[in-house]
Amino acid sequence: MAGPSFSGGGSPQRPPPWTPVAWAFREALTRGPSPPSSPGCRPSRAWPHQCAGGIRPLRSSIKVPVEGPVPPGRHSHGACAWEGGVLMAGGLGAAEQPLGSVLFLRPIEGGFRWQTLETFPPLIPRYSHTAHVHRGKLLLVGGVWLHAPSVPGVAVVDLATGQAAEYSIDTVSE
């Protein structure tokens, strides 16, 4: 059986133990705090990066290259980590319309690449749901959709094949 169809080329590969973003965070956290932003700043051992004015900026920022076509903006989507990258599903687009797409920010050598995961059949557009990966399957739980008079139950997407199924949850029985 063929793997999922990732537009943008290739199939996901297992990332190295430290992806570029994880490495950047690790470096930022182990490098130590920058000098206090105000003379009265006395960070504690428990919160070494905080002062009265909030979190202190680190000494530098690290730009992580991202390839591929940038997807349109969205909010109220579900997102979770997978294979060293990030899966994002659904949400509300710029016109506040629910989206049914699944995107993968896949780790590549030196950065990341945006890819779209095609699902079969297409997912029912939804937003304000949660996203989880369990045993190679993306689970989208709850949220809001405009498809039917009921609420969304659980959508299950097999990440190896792109096969999707929607399951309803009985919310009226006792």
Choice between 168 and 47, residue whose per-residue pLDDT is larger? 168
pTM value is: 0.65
How confident is the model over 84-110, as pLDDT tens digits?
Answer: 999 999 999 999 999 999 999 999 998
CA separation, residue 79 to residues 38, 96, 141 (Å): 36, 18, 11
Q: Quote the strand ranges of the chain, DSSP E.
A: 6-7, 50-51, 54-55, 66-67, 78-82, 85-89, 102-108, 111-117, 130-134, 137-141, 154-158, 164-167
Instruction: Give the chain's mean pLDDT.
Output: 77
Residue 169 has pLDDT above 60, yes or no: yes
Question: In this structure, what are the phi and psi dihedrals at residue 68, rounded to the nearest 5 degrees?
Answer: 90, 165
